[in-house]
Amino acid sequence: MLTHLQRLEAESIHIMREVVAECEHPVMLYSIGKDSAVMLHLAVKAFYPSKLPFPLLHIDTTWKFKEMIEFRDVMAKKLGLNLIVYINPVGIEKGINPFTHGSAIHTDIWKTQGLKQALDEYGFDVAFGGARRDEEKSRAKERIFSIRSAQHRWDPKLQRPELWRLYNARKNKGESIRVFPLSNWTELDIWQYIYLNNIPIVPLYLAKERLVVERDGTLIMVDDDRLPMDRGELPMVKKIRFRTLGCYPLTGAIESEADTLTAIIQEMLLAKTSERQGRLIDHDSAGSMEKKKQEGYF
Amino acid sequence: MTHVSDLIAEDIEQYLEAHENKSLLRFITCGSVDDGKSTLIGRLLYESKMLFEDQLAQLEADSKKVGTQAGDLDFALLVDGLAAEREQGITIDVAYRFFSTDKRKFIVADTPGHEQYTRNMFTGASTADVAIILIDARKGVLTQTRRHSYLVSLIGIRHVVLAINKLDMVGYSQEIYNRIDVEYRTFASEIGLQNIVTIPMSALKGDNITELSVNTPWYRGETLMEHLENIQVEDAEVKSGVFRMPVQWVNRPNLDFRGYSGIIVGGSVKPGDPIRVLPSGRESRVARIVTGDGDLEQAISGQSITLTLTDEIDISRGDILATTDALPSVADQFEATIVWMSDEPMLPGRPYLMKIGTRTVTVNVSTLKYKVNVNTLEHVAVTKLELNEIGICNLGTDQLIAFDPYKEDRDTGGFIMIDRLTNNTVGAGMLHFALRRSQNIHWQAININKQAHAAIKGQKPFVLWFTGLSGSGKSTIANLVEKKLHSLGKHTYLLDGDNVRHGLNKDLGFTDADRVENIRRIAEVAKLMVDAGQIVLVSFISPFHSERQMARELVEQGEFFEIFIDTPIHVAEERDPKGLYKKMRRGELKNFTGIDSPYEAPENVEIRIDTTVQLPVQAAEQIIIYLTEAGALGRP
């Protein structure tokens, strides 16, 4: 009898192999977070002893935590990965940032548009993403193989029934597929798997004394000198960690003493708020995740 | 996420160790809108302490604002993601919910209760180990209950929980409970459902969900949560059975390693075990079981692994590796049940793609025996299957495939059907058994083959397929082309739509289903003639992409030339050489192509003739020139 983690692992590996067997140019989106870490670990397992038969793609926004970028480069070197880093030139040209442009435009230009550009430029027809169905209401009905139109839009009419273990990876010219091998994992499954397999994660998940400012009740880490200080605002040192990782000005920290993996799992299990609450982009407007998905956000 | 366990706070490592060994149970809840399905799922999430304070606060606020429970918590609101969509008129289908207890992790397939019900419930049920069938105690066993139960038995779920819900509304009456229980069991045994456990409950009030209710002192069984935690399922994915592994991917990092990757869908395997490759029938032994965590001594059903064998034999994606003790069957003709999931009806004779295991082949339904009325279970004769209809049929594949009957193995007996033009998944099916005739009729090896037939005629055989509206000029042009070919000394034959309908196809009418069969027969005749070394001219309206594509694929590459006689419908109607348009306008003809029956204009054809600018002689000339340049008129 397999345990729930063994079954989830086997399912994810099965999904990845289906893609590689049936599709021409797959790529794995690598966001450096804990879900990406698990997805990458599973991918290495799925194709062993062969090397990963697809590249990794990181859509950089230039506003990620420094430690994330360091971690990314160390992992790529250690595992000998073919890593593509894509930065939207429009974002650079216009100097898009969350302060003057707001989180909605910031996310759209750097992430949504950046991702579409990268997929088009390299001609990838399938992209693996680490999204999970338990993350958010609108994800609960997402397919494992999610068809996108030539404009990368998510059209509910294009979505196909998924029965048994049979995934339909065929597509028409111009269409692409986003594939979510971690669909059936929960946040707890992810942490448990990381713990069991000693999977390396970005140290920002662990509590440490870091420089922060408090804004509207949210702790924002002062990761570099681009964070504008309001009048009279003074950065302070607090022992904090992050439950999810994104762009540093848009990711709220929590005060925590949990500086080991077991301690953060413990803290999560005893936690009273959900994981995405620290993400400022979900709160932009009602149903905002749903809307972003239709526009092509992962 | 305040899991009740004190272990979390006291000894997290011990807690994690215990939780490593949790099993996984997947289930589906079946019920109509008012049976309290959403309330039940919401209640399970709530009771398993899977809600965070922010979500709980949201729930409290929403319950006051839009709830239906007079300010009390309205659990249905937790799973209303789909309700929002419904208002927007978007397709609604399966949502998956997750919760876990100290013993098990659960995945719930949540399907909305009305439109598209068969398609969605079938999809959600395909991965479920257990089905919870909800009954409103006030209403008892309804038509819908029967429909849900039939679908559950069809997809092969072996464990059913009959949840007699809303018992609070009938004063927790044991008499009502007993009456419904007996009535349901009588019906269930008729459709072959066994292992039914009945639980009296109120999802709204929380009776018998996690704690035995004081309101039902006469009930001594398990609570719903206890039952879900303890039920022993031979789960859908982890079967004991005999060893089966469809090959997903050939793992070939270098010349020294050749492995076959896949997920074991039945039984177990050890190094040294003899295996057979199907459909080829070659045998070998397992050398190693390779995984990213090192080699294994044994692998069991549900694991994704890579096998190496002791012999170098030809194996590719789509093959099945099986134990030599109990082999799957190999066939190309089957009886099967099909559940249709597309707005476009399923037409017998039309080719579709079939994905079974890791193999994709072309399939068509040769006989649609009947459809099953899901409400009454009556058999109804039909000529096509519409969305959400279930049909029993014979089907044929273009290649031999290895399979097990679906009721023995979901993974080697279940398949999906894919439309060849849109690439959408349009149906799902379950193989029952191989038809005798496919096992007993063998392809006769013939010594005088196509090459020999062609050589003696001194020509290359091929098909000229003329398609276009009625009155477009197909037959006129085809006639001229045949005359020219004849004068060039070619052996030709012209198959004309009208003429063939007088003989071979006189049993067929003009419905979509009959049109498909009409073309299928003619394509097969054309194929035989090509095999006989003949040049075949086919002049048929042939309105659908699919069938023209099928005709093309029946012969070899380079042997098929599609000619689109492109005449706008108003021009064809003006010409009206056979007076058919006039008849149609008088209402004497139904299913007229281009009017009330569709014509799918071809896009990528070898030759397009625009009859508004070309005379028939010019068109025939153009076709001969094309064939000459393509080298089709040379010697074989």
A161–B290 CB contact, under 8 Å? no
The rounded radius of gyration (Å) of the Cα atoms in chain B is 31
Angstrom distances, CA of residue A43 to CA of A81, B253, B299, B454: 12, 15, 19, 53
Alpha helices by DSSP H, listed for B156-276, are: 174-190, 224-230
- B103, B116, B113, B118: which is closest to B134 by C-alpha? B113
Which one-letter amino acid corresponds to residue B353? L
3-state secondary structure of B446: coil
pLDDT bucket at B353, cuts 50 / 70 / 90 = very high
Is the Cβ–Cβ distance between B105 and B19 less than 8 Å? no
CA gap A7, B304 in Å, rounded: 9
More confident: B390 or B73: B390
Query: What distance in Å separates residue A187's CA from the closest CA in chain B?
Result: 11
pLDDT for B36 equals 78
Model pLDDT, residue B53: 66
In the DSSP assignment, the letter for residue B34 is G
Residue B279: cis peptide before it, omega within 30 degrees of 0: yes
pLDDT digits (tens, 9 = 90+) for A24-61: 999 999 999 999 999 999 999 999 999 999 999 999 98
Residue B82 is nearest to which of A141, A268, A273, comparing CB atoms?
A: A141
Residues of B with CB below 8 A from A160's CB? 424-425
Mean per-residue pLDDT for A234-259? 88
Indicate the range of A183-197, A218-232, A266-280, B113-127 predicted with least confidence: A266-280
Pick among A39, A125, A197, A269 to test the B interface (most B CBs inside 10 A):
A269
Rounded to the nearest 10 degrees, the angle between the axes of helix B474-487 and helix B616-629 is: 50
CB atoms within 10 A of CB B469: 24
Mean pLDDT of chain B: 86
Q: What is the pLDDT of residues B152-161, one digit of tens each?
A: 999 989 899 9
DSSP code for B327:
P
Contact present, A208 and A255 (Cβ < 8 Å)? no
DSSP states along A183-228: TT--HHHHHHHHHHHT----GGGS-EEEEEEEETTEEEE--STTSP
Catalytically active residues of B are 542
Asked whether B29 and B124 are in contact (CB, 8 A), the reply is no
Average pLDDT over residues A246-250: 85
CA-nearest residue to A278 within chain B is B54
Q: Of residues B606 and A225, which shows the higher confidence score? A: B606
B238: number of Cβ within 10 Å: 23
- Give A2's contacts in chain B (Cβ within 8 Å): 23-24, 238, 300, 302-303
The rounded Cα A295 to chain-centroid distance in angstroms is: 17
- Contact assignment for A133 to B16 by CB distance below 8 Å: no
Across the strands, what pairs with A64? Answer: A247
Burial of A294 (0-12, 13-18, 19+ CB in 10 A): middle
Distance CA B336, CA B431 (A): 4
Write the pLDDT tens digit of every residue in A119-164.
999 999 999 999 998 887 677 778 899 998 888 888 777 788 999 9
pLDDT one-digit tens code per residue, B96-139: 888 888 888 899 988 766 656 788 888 889 999 999 999 999 99
pLDDT reported for residue A292: 54
Name every chain A residue with its beta carbon within 8 A of the beta carbon of B317: 21
* Both structure tokens of A55: 């590249």
Does A203 sit behind a cis peptide bond, omega within 30 degrees of 0 on the bond before it? no
Of A128, A46, A164, the closest CA to residue B410 belongs to A164
Q: Do B302 and A170 touch (CB under 8 A)?
A: no
3 state SS of A168: coil
**How are beta strands B320-323 and B274-278 bridged, if at all?**
antiparallel
State the pTM of this model.
Answer: 0.80
Contact (CB<8Å) A3/B52: no
Describe chain B by its helix, strand, coil percentages, rounded to 5. Answer: 30, 30, 40
CA distance B73 to B84: 19
> Residue B546, CB half-sphere, CA atoms under 13 Å: how many?
26
SS (H, E, C) B199-228: EECECCCCECCCCCCCCCCCCCCCCHHHHH
CB contact under 8 A, B248 and A162: no
The candidate with the shortest Cα–Cα distance to A275, out of B50, B550, B209, B13, is: B50
Q: B597: which DSSP letter?
A: B
Strands B462-467, B560-566: pairing is: parallel
Q: Of all residues in chain B, what percent carry a pLDDT higher than 90?
A: 45
CA-based torsion, B165, B171, B174, B176: positive or negative: negative
Closest CA to B265 of B408, B362, B371, B135: B408
Report the greatest alpha carbon distance in chain B.
Answer: 97
Nearest CA to B530 out of B604, B445, B459, B634 is that of B459
Q: What is the edge-to-edge ordering of all strands in the sheet holding B23-30? A: B95-100, B104-110, B23-30, B130-136, B159-165, B196-200
Q: What CA–CA distance (Å, rounded) separates B386 from B67?
A: 38
Nearest to A269 among B1, B110, B425 (CB): B1
The rounded radius of gyration (Å) of the Cα atoms in chain A is: 19
